Structure 1
């Protein structure tokens, strides 16, 4: 028995003498066809391999060592210069700190580059646990790494540079076939014409498929798989003129990779231990209509249904039955007041755009509206240090557009307003002229009076439709927000529901009702809550209704409640929907903090809630504003977003305040990027007019409520 053990040990030692299985390559230990390097954790191996059973061509490469079945190669050194006689090949480190793959005849098959002039004798190479093959000096200075020279695969922790100093420096190149690692026809890289904004798959020199346009945010992260303690996600890092992607897999999750295969599909896959195969997480292109410009101009690939298909953009119709020539306008576009913009949500925006930097949303809109050749635009507020916005405009055909389910941009498309038929155009002027000739002054006067009465009736009806009567409101609602806040402690989820409910109500008043309604006295006591804490805006005694073509008005009699009224209203009597936005911002800060707009007895040096909120925000201490009764149980990201929105709503200038549609979008979409708030006027020293207005109000009989009613 002892003899058998001795023979077994001798056999194992004999095998180990032929096959090196450590993770390092040194100048005194070159790699031959019998050798293999294995990373310390055993996941990756480096050596010579043949991709098919013919064994006619051999390559130096890296593959997964820990998974069963067919070899999965992730990197190839000499992909376009195969070795025909493997026994003659050798990978060695030279005195010049280079790695050279050579044949016994002295021909260099492949080599690394190095800027190190001395110290080459001590250089060594190591296969890391990440699958990265690194040539380095003893002081751990990396001279060269395989991650900087990918072939067809991106591994976790590898930085794939889409853009560096406005140049495309990295490119994935697919294999020519399933058993042929030589450079194929398909490749993937950043778009050289739009550095840092999008990537493309190329078929030769022609665009084959395109990814979603990036919004330029400094750091983005898209999770794909997760469990209780681990997560797999893709991170994008924007450094201004530099942009890279990186795949990250935390401990406990399976192996993962991004690969461009020989058919032109860029796939994100992970290893499935149960099926012993690679499972697809996502891939691009996703469908035949997702190929570049396959739907033709002014059409898009609709990926929201079970069967992806080409569809025409709004206001367009197909040129033919199979969309090969795209779509055409149903009405000719004219650059006049008859044109308008429609919003198309969750779109993969078209290619061939013009990128305009440093623009606000309104400036981006004006950029396109004022240019007759501009047919569409898209906007994203990235919040990056070097460029706070991404404004894209289009002046030519819209190509390679798509629609997705969970992500994408709002695309604003210019269309022509539908006019009546030509017959009506002719008849209406004739009828109008006849009416004018036959009508007498008395009839005109009567119609004028009837019109005024009808307008009053419409206003009254609109009020009743949404708000009912005061008696009905008091009958259905147990208390106001002010009464409830005084008697009960509301948890954060209830407060957040109330905030969004008030915002939704204001949005109805400003935008969704047939005529625009300005409340002018929005405050806690005018918010009624039902038994399920659903808010309703009440007390419309001071409200004003705007016509369709009216967006602002002035009054010499200021009405409302001090503290909730906007500066332009207090000082000059000007009011608009942005006046209600200001009042909403004050109310939002009250709900978050549990404080009233003026509570000087509660906090030292506290002149107003706006002052206090701004100081905490500016000092990066915004969480101190949160009501102590909910601070331990609230969702901090929701609270901070509410404070951010509140400060934007109480900006000094009306143009700096968001519309309620933008407020609603920001509250319901955590991914929406918000602009930084400016220092509010009430935080700065009062000018004479503001001080005078405040003094007048404080000298009135009831300084907390200016109740003088104005006639309509």
Structure 2
């Protein structure tokens, strides 16, 4: 009996062991990597298909800062992936409930949690059909493992991969934006298999050379690259290409700006390297839209962009139709009236299109002008020795400013008389003001005296009104005595409360040293950013007044616009133009969003900040030192163009005076120059130091201040200096970069950044020299010297406490709060 029981136990153990092994094997089979699904299978959000060679992945993803979910294909071995195809680009799933599966008819569909479906691919209802991700990155529906009935290569998005045939009518279409893969405005394709073409909203934007059988004839520029990255093969209907080397990950993409890029992945640096980019050119038809002027002088700066605000400009009397898309051209500020219209001179112009041009046999220029004046449909005229008199009617396109003076001549553009009224009537206004101002000033003096007496009698009861009155008086003086921006205005506090839903927390964009910032919407429909002074703010009336007195006079595309202000009792509010993409630190220092900042975008930000500082230091009516340059004060517009903000700490300086001194040190740890933090000495070189810190942060994605594991160094400057001396500068590059990142350009930026943060102010370059060093690849750069604050542990972006300090030549006075 005992033997029977023992045998029974042993049998039971064996059965359980076998069952366990079978279960583990089954589980392993179900969780193993797969490259396809059949009719009865599916993948849900979080599950992927991986090609058999481990090169490509198909699954769900969210691009950039978007929370929408898409089915896409990306590289499996590239850090953070690089999406090359999107199935539902115009039909995103709002949450993670999406499932990719076959329906009863053999179609591959995407279904969300609400039951809505989107057809990814149409099948034929065959029972053994499967959807497979191939080693080439092609996603196919096939029967019997071989008969392909649909493929993603025949429905590309914005990327052309090797082995993909681009046929006539089979177009790449750009993404709508960096975090929205919906169909954008640009398409790329083949025209009769003889040349490549890019179109913008149906208009020809760029065309390649013609195919003549030579593998490089379509893009001859490629022959100047060693080694030549790709070779094309075309027939009467299609084109494909082969990468060089053959095993190097290579892609051709159409980006959001309409530029065609050829990039290869560097497996050592683990970065995409830009090898060729379709160049910007003012010769592109209608590049800047109607009445837009293409500035040939900016091509060297804008060579990495297909179009930019600096490349396309509006003439006097015109404004951009859409500041987010400069190719939509310009529109008149004031309608022509025929009688009384006048002309503005535009020298160095290559004359507009000849479609609406009429040549007249008139010898004298005065007669040519009269002919245009007497024709109400005439919008411009020109008189040149070679062509004589020419008149244009209707909208003008393809206007070019030949900055070097090689243009055909001067174009005389017709404007409404009101565009000239401010200048022509200035003398009359001065005479009128001479009569009006004395009595007005007397009345203001009497009113101020009356109010002062009332306040003196009620001493201690109304200090807030004293501040309000003083500020209101300053603003009035600003309007009466200064030539400020015509769009600047004062708004009642009730209107601002309504615009922000009574400063609703849902409208809060962030908070700085001055106070919280809210998104608002004015009655005219304009979105604005509203900065409200906080009760516990370390700033107040001086910073408020400083911001108005300074920024209201500044006009530059890389400076944020101040639209107005409000003073009501203790309430002090500044109204700015709204920047939809928040500030640079929102993207730069957050892991999931930093990948959104591709190299071309970062370089545009680097150059834009530099251009803004050049304007402040050299070209503005008031020469200004910002004194608080940092990522949170760099705002980004809808095109991710940078705009310098927050001028509460800024100071006007004498360009002949050089250095200035203050006992009130303001600014932010990690961005203050050594001579300013230690001795209160500031100059334009103080901003240069801050810019250098910014530049190194943009390249590396790391903060200068605060612990972040910078090797043996206590801050980013020390880390960068250590890597530079050891020749390991490439380790400073942000590994999350998704776009092209040419190492020679990154090296130049790191080099310039180290020159900017040198300890001695005299060693630092000016901002004009900085932009020249960045944009001119042939410029020779001096060797950098040791940075300031090399071995200091800096607190994470904390404002410096205000107060006085000792000017000690032997040691630094520690700037800590008391």
Short-chain TM bin:
0.3 to 0.5
TM-score, with structure 2 as normaliser: 0.32
Bigger Rg, structure 1 or 2: 1
